[in-house]
Amino acid sequence: MACGPFSKFLLLGMVFISGCAYPISRELREEARENLTFSSVFQNPTAYTGAIVIWGGTIISTLNRPAGTEVTVLEIPLDSMERPEAETHSHGRFIAKVSKFLDPAIYRPGRGVTVAGEIIGKETQPLGEITYTYPVIVIKQIYLWRQRSHWIPPGYYWPTGDWPYYPFWPYGW
Give the pLDDT of residue 20: 62
Closest CA to 116 of 34, 48, 35, 54: 54
Q: How far apart are CA 46 and CA 120, in angstroms?
A: 7
Q: In this structure, is the dihedral angle defined by the CA atoms of residues 54, 57, 144 and 69, taken in order, positive or negative?
A: negative
User: Can you give the pLDDT at residue 101?
Assistant: 96
pLDDT mean over 146-157? 60
Q: What does the radius of gyration of the chain's CA atoms come to, in whole angstroms?
A: 22
- 3-class secondary-structure state, position 108: coil
Which pLDDT belongs to residue 9?
A: 53
Report pLDDT for 38.
Answer: 93
The tens digit of pLDDT for each residue in 66-99 reads 999 999 999 999 988 888 887 778 999 999 999 9
**Is residue 147 scored above 80 in pLDDT?**
no
Half-sphere exposure of 71 (CA within 13 A, CB side): 37
How high is the pLDDT of residue 10? Answer: 53
Instruction: Say how far apart CA 39 and CA 159 lie, in whole Å.
Output: 45
Domains of the chain by start residue, with CATH: 23-144 (2.40.50.140)
Distance CA(68)–CA(122), nearest Å, equals 17
pLDDT at 7: 55
Q: How much is the mean pLDDT over the chain?
A: 83
Closest C-alpha to 143, from 123, 105, 117: 117
Listed in sequence order, the residues at least 6 apart from 105 whose beta carbon sits closer than 8 Å to its beta carbon are: none
Q: What is the pLDDT of residue 19?
A: 52
Residue 117 and residue 97: Cα distance in Å, rounded? 9
Model confidence at 18, pLDDT cuts 50, 70, 90, reads: very low
User: Which residues, in sequence order, are CB contacts of 17 under 8 Å at separation 6+?
Assistant: none
CB atoms within 10 A of CB 117: 23
- DSSP run (H or E) holding 40: helix 38-43
Over range 62-68, report the average pLDDT: 96
Asked if 60 and 73 count as a contact pair (C-beta separation under 8 A), the reply is yes
pLDDT band at 55 (very low <50, low <70, confident <90, very high): very high
User: Nearest CA to 73 among 13, 117, 31, 34?
Assistant: 117
User: Is residue 150 very low, low, confident or very high in pLDDT (cuts 50, 70, 90)?
Assistant: low
* The predicted structure's pLDDT at residue 169: 53
